[in-house]
Amino acid sequence: MLTEARALVPMQVASFTSEDDFQELLARFPALLAGDQMDSAYPRRFILVDREQPIACELGGAGRWSLDHLFLDQDGVPTLVEVKRGTDTRIRREVVDQMLDYAANAILH
């Protein structure tokens, strides 16, 4: 939630009307990503590189897929983020496969 001064207030569990609403919040406030859960002594800090980042599936190819967010942490390590609503009826395996495709092809191409 944003205050009138445009400061971020920690969120409570809630539903979003669309994936785009949540994507916009992540783009504007990368601190929503749980970087401290990876290493509480040296928490990850993220910066947004791009939203709807095209990912090719072949060398020199155009973007076949579009990743919701591409972030870099303070060490330059890329973090790929795909937003899905809890009401998305696709099976989790399909969503995990989607991220594996993105990650593998982002590295290769």
Mean pLDDT along residues 44-50: 91
Mean pLDDT of 56-84: 80
Does the residue 43 lie in any domain? yes
Confirm whether 12 is domain-assigned.
no
Q: Tell me, yes or no, whether 1 lies in a domain.
A: no
* Mean pLDDT value across residues 69-81: 90
Q: What is the mean pLDDT of residues 65-77?
A: 88
The dihedrals phi and psi of 26, each to the nearest 5 degrees, come to -65, -40
Report which of 35, 71, 28 is spatially closest to residue 82, judged by C-alpha positions: 71
| Residue 5 resides in a domain | no
Predicted TM-score of the model (pTM): 0.67
- Domain of 79 in residue numbering reads as 19-108
Mean of all residue pLDDT scores within the chain: 80
Going by their DSSP bridges, the two strands 78-81 and 46-56 should be labelled as unpaired
Is 8 inside any structural domain? no
* CA 102 centroid distance within chain: 12
Domain assignment present for residue 41? The answer is yes
**Number of structural domains found in the chain:** 1
Does residue 80 lie within any of the structural domains? Answer: yes
Confidence of residue 7 (pLDDT cuts 50, 70, 90): confident
13 found inside a domain: no
**Phi–psi pair at 41, nearest 5 degrees:** -80, -25
